[in-house]
Amino acid sequence: MTLSTPPTRIPVRHVDIQADAGQRIDNFLKRELKKVPRSRVYRMLRRGEVRVNGGRVKPTYRLRVGDVVRIPPVFVTPVSPGAGNLPDAALSRVERAITFEDDALIVLDKPAGMAVHGGSGISFGVIEALRRLRPTERLELVHRLDRDTSGCLMVAKSREVLLELHQALRDRTVRKRYAVLVFGTWPKRLRTIRLPLHRYVVASGERRVRVAAAGKPSRTDVQVVAQREQATWINAHLFTGRTHQIRVHTFASGHGVVGDDKYGLPENRKLAEQLKIRRLCLHAEQIILPFRNTTLRFECPIPIDFQSAWDSFGAHRS
């Protein structure tokens, strides 16, 4: 795997205040550190990395003549092509999505509709935004989620952590649970789907997956959670992690994912439109994995629009 370009280090500076007297310290730092994200500037202030006359200050502090401002060393990550103008709204959305962070890992509750990385006509994704928000760190995706899938997404902060987690994925010691809404009544006896999957590209360049004898072995375990008139809520547990695996496995079993415009039947798409369901009802709800002699457990709550989609279907069935 190719890692990101190493960041450039801007050394520590001490600035004597004269002409900038009366300006707020946060605005002063934004001007002095033009290539550093705003979120990083405020984090420097919160952590006390910025010092005025040797002491900590709040972002609202107004500079005075004779103040000496210590601007700490910072790193600036080179911007990848196409990611030069990340909107503040997208950066804020990714920052809010972070549910866990330590010295090794970041875990996000990825919003539906946001890609995990740029490419194929998408100028940026979660990882580009994170690199902008965390310019001092070497961030790499541990795994991926479809653009329209929401939920738990792990990002490693070093190559060592990345390789360790990739090994856990290969050893299948990482357990993932997805909440899924599918059309129709799921057969309660259909608890395991074993269908080989083949990935291909259509004329437009879009990736697709189909069941094919020559495809890669794939397994999804399924548990029925609840039943309504026209849909079933299931939990899907991935034993393998193929592209679009849950979407294709459920569709091939006769019960496509609600809101899926790639693999759904026309009548199901029409029903979703009538019910005003505007998202793919597939959510990475839980990840459990061994790491550094302990077991980590991450959960992302069911999104409001996912729950609303479920509530839009008919009455409960026993």
Q: Which two tokens stand for residue 118?
A: 């740029």
CA distance 134 to 44: 12
From the list 109, 146, 148, 260, the catalytic residue is 146
Instruction: Identify the CA nearest to 287 among candidates 277, 278, 295, 275.
Output: 295
| DSSP designation for 168 | H
Sign for the CA dihedral angle at 124, 125, 127, 132 comes to: positive
Inter-axis angle of helices 38-46 and 88-97, to 10 degrees?
50
Query: Do the Cβ atoms of 107 and 298 come closer than 8 Å?
Result: yes
The reply to whether 146 belongs to the active site is yes
Element at 286 (helix H, strand E)? strand 282-291
Using DSSP, state whether 93 is helix, strand or coil: helix
- Contact status, residue 234 vs residue 187, Cβ threshold 8 Å: no
230: left (phi over 0), alpha (psi -120 to 50) or beta: alpha
d(CA 27, CA 17): 14
Nearest in space to 283 (alpha carbons), one of 304, 256, 302: 302
Q: Is there a contact between 187 and 232 (Cβ–Cβ < 8 Å)?
A: no
- Residues serving a catalytic function are 146
